[in-house]
Chain A
Amino acid sequence: EPEVTQTPSHQVTQMGQEVILRCVPISNHLYFYWYRQILGQKVEFLVSFYNNEISEKSEIFDDQFSVERPDGSNFTLKIRSTKLEDSAMYFCASSEPLQGSSAFFGQGTRLTVV
């Protein structure tokens, strides 16, 4: 069964450092997303990406965040200067471009900022 894969599974970084979280979406999906879940809180939408551009972003997704699809398979989330409050599970997801289609999630990257 096709799946969304994310690397690394766990990333520890110093405050102020840049991190890149990587995702390989399901190959025939055209919509890509990043969500995050701070420990004990709900899963929150960060950004959606379609046709090589951001289609929607939340207020959480400020200037320190960026997304990119550098090649035909990878989808990355970059955090330019990490803060302690960026510590969370980051989930990548992808879906078909059909209204009502479910998003399939990766297993997540646990980001710990120290």
Chain B
Amino acid sequence: DQQVKQNSPSLSVQEGRISILNCDYTNSMFDYFLWYKKYPAEGPTFLISISSIKDKNEDGRFTVFLNKSAKHLSLHIVPSQPGDSAVYFCAAGGGGGSNYKLTFGKGTLLTVNP
């Protein structure tokens, strides 16, 4: 039961260009969404989040967009840097009374080429 889906297992972009990572969800009860970045042999690191009452949240080079009607969110990184190369996980929380647990997607490996 994949409630959070990241359909692209990998993405490769050139340094300086925009990276767009996508995520879809099925549970309409989710009311907040987060992006985590993960390097090999490390734990996920929180990047940015968005509440379901918003459609955009921006933090420096990172912007998350939420389209509730489409149950879709995306993470934009601009400009992309080689240090951004990592696995990016989309996560969702809320889920109708759930006690703050997060449901993760499978992740997208981003490679930013110099």
Contact = CB atoms under 8 A, between A and B. Distances in A.
Nearest to A95: B100
B44 A91 contact: yes
Nearest to B107: A42
Contacts of A101: 100
A97 B93 CA distance: 13
B41 A108 contact: yes
A44 B32 contact: no
A41 B100 CA distance: 22
Nearest to A110: B41
Contacts of A91: 43-44
Nearest to B33: A100
Given A100-B32, A100-B49, A103-B46, A43 B99 contact: no
Given A104-B46, A105-B44, A107-B43, A43 B100 contact: no
B23 to A, nearest CB: 12
Contact of A108 (B43, B98, B104, B107): B43
Contacts of A97: 100
Interface string A27-55: 00001010100000111110010100001
Nearest to B47: A102
A22 B44 CA distance: 18
Contacts of B105: 42
A105 B101 contact: no
A18 interface: no
A19 interface: no
A33 to B, nearest CB: 7
